[in-house]
Each structure stands twice: as C-alpha cells, then as structure tokens.
Chains A and B, each alone.
Chain A
Amino acid sequence: MADVILSKVLKTYNNPEVVAVNEVSFSVDHGELFGLIGPDGAGKTSLFRILTTLLVPEGGSATVNGFDVVKDYKQIRERVGYMPGKFSLYQDLTVKENLEFFATVFNTSIEANYDLIEDIYVQIEPFKNRRAGNLSGGMKQKLALCCALIHRPKVLFLDEPTTGVDTVSRKEFWHMLKRLKLQGITILVSTPYMDEAMLCERIALIQNGRILSINTPENIIADYPGQLYAIRSDKMSKLLKDLRAIENVSSCHAFGDFHHIKLHENHQVAQLNLVQMLNHLGHTDLELQPTSPTIEDCFIHLMH
C-alpha cells in the first residue's frame, strides 16, 4: 500500500519560468525509507512543502496517507511529522517546553508517545532545561526530530536533516531513522549528500524540478551503462583539462582524489594509448584503474 502518491505535481514561483516542481510523479510505500537526492535548488523543499500542505500545487494531485493534500489538508496535518531544513523550534523555550508544546498542540502528551522518541530523547535529556537556542547543531537536530515524532505521525518528512551536521552525528541520525522505520513509520528524507542515498531503501534522483530516476540505490548503480575508470596523476587540475580534450574520453569529472572517466573504446590498447598521450602531455605518476560507479556518478550521468 502506498502512503504517499504524487501524480504530475506542478509548482511554479511567481514568474512562470521558474518551475520548482515539474510534473513529478512517484509513490512511496507504507513503512518505506525513501530518499529524495538532488543538489540545492532541485525542488526538494518545494516538494516537501506541497506534501506537508504548506504549499498548494498548481497542477497534478498528491495524497498522503490516503488524503488529498489540497482538500484534506486538515487530516494530513494530524498525521504527518515535518522537520524543515532550517531549525524551526522556539529558541527561547527549553528543550522540554518545546517538546511539551508540540505534544499539546497535537492533543497528546510526552508520556503517551515516550517509547517512540525514547532512544533519541535520552541523548538530549541531560539538557532538557536548556533553551533550544543554546543547543549544539546535533542536539538541535535531535530535538527537532523528537518534536516531529511526538504525535506518532504516520508519515515523517525530513528536509535535509543532516545538512550542516558533523559526520558522526550524521551516522547516528541515519541509525535513528532505521529504528523508526521498524516502528512502521513511512519516512521521506531529502539530502544533497550522495553517500547518504545508499542508506535509503529507494531513492529518487531529482534535478531542476524533474525526477531523473527512481529505484533502489543498488539498481540505480547496476543500471549505470559502460565501464568507469578512476585516474590520477601528479597534476590533477591540468589532468582534468587535458582529459576533456582527448577524443576517446566521453565524460570526465572530479571525484575525490581521482577523476572518474568513461571511454568510448575500452580495450587494453586504448587505455595504453591514453596513458601514453598523458605522459606526453607532462603527467607523471599516472594511475588508471577500473572502478565501480557510485550514486554520484549515476547522478552526473543522468544529468547529461
């Protein structure tokens, strides 16, 4: 059963030339951990705001937990939890007061749903009398998650929850999401970090308001056509320029310590030719090896 269904959802801003969400359709199953992966400005936040009834779409339709986002917005508001990308709790209220406030707003209490947030709440409980504004970034994020969960939502929308959070807290955060999934909560999470995509069950790659691909991360990688190579030399920025000028190189982008390239002709001789050509251009310590693609490579491939 699908908990979130979008069908040709369209949203433009003032100027009709700015299309934030361009006829997007997909669905998310009940209890699924679904990721929206895309760069800044891809339309992730607009999509979330439509699904949480904060924005009205101009075209298409969407349902959340069986309710229409336009007609039944009241029902949706009782059933979803939303954690915006920007920390949006009351900075001048304490941790406990914020949590109590959001519990009361949903006509429930902390005690009634304590089991759901316990794992997360125990980590911030030592600071429960501290004002939210004085918490560290990771703590703020945990509090925001608690507040979004306090009414036991059916669907949880997390908009870039890990942006600006350190690596350790990011890992912890994804662990928490996995545990929440076990409780049967459908989770939609957006992130600009491609490495986090692997942690989702299914992902949608989104760019300029359009869905590029929807699949499990493994399948998206498996669908990557052709062989990818990693290459490096002692002059990395010159290498990128030189590679782009070489005819046999069909695509090329920087990737960490290496550049990832694809070749028109993959056979041994072509590879040797490439190395020789680069040697000739003054590159030393050349290293060329086949590599398996990541989500980022798939994204770059789909973008072109």
Chain B
Amino acid sequence: MSTLSFLLQKEFKQIFRNRSILGMIIAMPIIQLLVMPLAADFEIKNINVSIVDHDHSTYSRELTNKIAASAYFKINDYSGSFDASYEEFQTDHSDLILEIPQNFEKLLVIENEASLFLAVNAINGTKATVGSAYLSRIISGFNGNIREEWIVPAKMHKAPTIDIASKNWFNPFLNYPFFMVPGILVALVTMVGVYMCSLNIVKEKEVGTIEQINVTPIKKHLFILGKLIPFWVIGLFVFTLGLLGVAQIAYGIVVEGNLILLYAFLSLFLIAVLGIGLLISTYSETQQQAMSLAFFLIMIFILMSGLFTPVDSMPQWAQWMAKLNPVTYFIEVMRMIVLKGSGFEDLKSHFLAMTGFALLFNSWAILNYRKTT
C-alpha cells in the first residue's frame, strides 16, 4: 500500500508542477461551460425574410405585419420584384422569400382560395426546416383568422376551433442551457479522462521512464492504479466545479435528483473513460499518436452521444453505435437526474451498461499492457 501512496504522491507532484494541465483542470470547465451553451443554442431566431408583394392589399399587409410581429422573423426587405429579393437570397442576406402574388386578396375573397410562394435557403438545413415550419404556422394562423372573420358576421355560431395548449415538463421555459450544460459537462469529463490519462502514460513511454519503472519490482496493477486514481480524482473535481460552480451559479441549474446517485454514476463513468485512456496508451508509442487516436474517438463519442442531436432521430445503425458509446449513457443519466430527478430504479440499465463498459475497457487495456515485450 505504501508503494501506491508513493506513486500517487509522485503523480500529483508532477501534475501540479505542470502549469498547462493545472490551467486546463480549472479554466477549461469554467470557460467551456460559460461559452459553449450560449453558442450551442438550437433555438432558431433571427430568420431573415424577404417579402415580395405584388398585391399591395390589406390582406398582404396584414400577413406581412403578422410575420414581422413574430419574434423569430426579421423582415429583411419588402419589395415588389422577386429578382431584387432573389439577389438578397443569393448573397445570404435572407433565408426565406415569401412571394405574395397579384390578386391575392381578390382571389381569396372571390374564389375562396389563393396561393403563396415560399422559397427556402437550404444551405443551413436546420434554419431552413425550422424557418419554413414557423412561417407555415403563421400563414395557417392567418388563414384561420380570416375564416373566423368571415364567419363571425353571420352570427350563426362560433366556429369550431381546436386550441392546443402545451406545457413543457422538466424544463418549463425550454431553456437551452438547462438542456445543454449537463451534456457539455459530460463531454468535458470525457475529455479529461481520455486525454489526460492516455497522454500521461504515453509521455512516460516517450521519455523512457516507463523502462526505468519496468525494471523495478513495482507491480503492474499498482502502476496502473497509480495512473488512474489521480485522473479519477481530477475528473470528480472538474465535474464538481462545473456542476456546483458554473452550472448552479451562472445558469441556476439545480440538481433535481439525488446528488449521491449522480456521483455514483460519475465514478463508474470515469472508470470506464479512464479505461479508454489506458487502452489508447497501450496502442500508442508517442504522444502524437495518442492524441490523434484520442481525438478520433472523442469526436465519435461526442457527436454520437445525443448531446447535440437526439439519438432517436439517428438511423438505426447509428442508434446501435450510440448504444455502444458510454458517453450516451452518461448524458442520458445527467439529464434524467439533473432535470427530471430520476431515481435508481429508472437508471438500473444505465448502471449495468456502464459497469460493463468499465470492465470491458479496463480488462482489454490491462491485457494489452505488458511489462515485458
């Protein structure tokens, strides 16, 4: 046991002497959590609309005002020619063109039917889909209003309309940081575990100190524990700083569920992630190799974890890949415990899966790590 404590002492001494690592541990969670959630905001606002009005009628103006009044749209230009607006479209100044044809009002009144033309700039896919959906909703709302207007004077009966009231559970104001911050925190902890752990071990290989260690009677498992424990502690620290520091103070996110349950899962997750770091280090000879390999894996882990895009809307094969990704589970658990307040009963399968990952990665790494070659 004294050997282990000595190995740990040495490891911490080295970590605390390395200013860039120390800076990473403290600054990274604070800066990333302050900056990223604000940028990674999926709420689409400021959609620029060009309106081409050939009609210049009461209805066409009413529709324009309705669009302008919505918080999502900004009227970029209002003109009488499609070509002028198309120019705006080409230069990316506007995202949508709504063309109101001549006799729009007339046709609507006489023929009970009129058409509108909507052109969508699909360079930014999300903006295009969301923007045209919002605009269609406004148009159909406008349509409904007109119909009511026509019916009400008849004073027969009130038009049958369905009014939908929705309530957002667990995040009532659809606050994006509430959704993103716990997820980004998981990404951070993953990076700390994988990068720091693998680079640290590979550095010993590169400098040659591992050779010097290997000719000593230090036992393999003690050496590995001496490497994993410090980064496990650092992972816990970074997480705590992010959750109870940044998330609570800057975003007002309070953990709904049980903190002990959350930390229990975090501990398990860190073991799995450190196992990945260890595994990478056994396959790399230089820090450059380890960095490339770790970067590749982390990109996949994070993009396929449901952090940015929901796993359910991925194709079937990608959903399977997400199932083999430990980050997916922790992001789910984070959101479930932090926002929803789920208990152990709801998370049993997650705990089971994470235990599996921890065992798999660590035993694979240990088998691959040989003191003698």
Contact = CB atoms under 8 A, between A and B. Distances in A.
8 contacts: A53-B372, A54-B211, A77-B217, A92-B13, A97-B10, A101-B6, A106-B217, A147-B212
Given A74-B217, A92-B17, A101-B6, A56 B209 contact: no
Interface string A61-95: 00000000000011001101010101111111100
Interface string B177-219: 0000000000000000000000000000001110111111110
B217 A105 contact: yes
B10 A93 contact: yes
Task: Tell me if B's interface is mostly helix, strand, loop or mixed.
Answer: helix
Contacts of B216: 77, 102, 105-106
A55 interface: yes
Contacts of B58: none
A54 B215 contact: yes
Contact of B372 (A56, A92, A105, A107): A56
Contacts of B6: 101, 104-105
Nearest to B18: A92
Contacts of A147: 212
Given A101-B10, A105-B3, A105-B6, A53 B209 contact: no
A182 B218 CA distance: 29
Contacts of A73: 372
A53 B212 CA distance: 11
Interface size for chain B: under 10, 10 to 19, 20 to 34, or 35 or more residues? 20 to 34
Contacts of A141: none
Interface of A: 52-56, 73-74, 77-78, 80, 82, 84, 86-93, 97, 101-102, 104-107, 147
Given A74-B217, A82-B215, A104-B3, A97 B13 contact: yes
B373 A89 contact: no
Contacts, number: 66
Contact of A90 (B14, B215, B373): B14
Given A73-B372, A90-B209, A92-B18, A52 B215 contact: yes
B1 to A, nearest CB: 12
Nearest to A101: B10
Interface string B105-146: 000000000000000000000000000000000000000000
A78 B217 CA distance: 6
Contacts of B3: 104-105, 107
A145 to B, nearest CB: 13
Interface centre among A89, A93, A101, A105 (most CB of B within 10 A): A105
A87 B206 CA distance: 11
Contact of A86 (B10, B208, B215): B208
Contacts of B13: 92-93, 97
A89 B214 contact: no
Contacts of B14: 90, 92-93
Interface centre among B2, B10, B17, B213 (most CB of A within 10 A): B10
Given A93-B14, A102-B212, 15 more contacts: A54-B373, A55-B373, A74-B217, A80-B215, A84-B211, A84-B212, A88-B208, A89-B212, A91-B207, A101-B6, A101-B10, A105-B6, A105-B217, A105-B218, A106-B217
Contacts of A55: 372-373
Contacts of A84: 208, 211-212
Interface in B210-259: 211-218
B221 to A, nearest CB: 14
Task: Tell me if A's interface is mostly helix, strand, loop or mixed.
Answer: loop
A53 B218 CA distance: 13
A88 B218 CA distance: 16
Those 7 A-B pairs whose CB atoms lie nearest each other, nearest first: A88-B208, A82-B215, A88-B212, A105-B216, A104-B6, A78-B217, A86-B208
A77 B10 contact: no
A248 to B, nearest CB: 51
Contacts of A89: 209, 212
Nearest to A77: B217
B37 to A, nearest CB: 35
A127 to B, nearest CB: 17
B372 A54 contact: yes
Contacts of A107: 3, 217
A99 to B, nearest CB: 12
A78 B218 CA distance: 9
A88 B209 contact: yes
Interface centre among B207, B212, B214 (most CB of A within 10 A): B212
Interface centre among A52, A89, A92 (most CB of B within 10 A): A92
Nearest to A153: B215
B58 to A, nearest CB: 78
A86 B208 CA distance: 7
Contacts of A74: 217
B7 to A, nearest CB: 8
Nearest to A78: B217
A282 B373 CA distance: 59
A89 B209 CA distance: 6
B94 to A, nearest CB: 57
Interface string B1-39: 011001000100110011000000000000000000000
Nearest to B2: A104
B208 A53 contact: no
Contacts of A104: 2-3, 6
Contacts of A105: 3, 6, 213, 216-218
Interface centre among A78, A86, A87, A88 (most CB of B within 10 A): A88
A80 B216 CA distance: 8
B225 to A, nearest CB: 14
Contacts of A88: 207-209, 211-212
Interface in B138-156: none
Interface in B15-68: 17-18
B212 A82 contact: yes
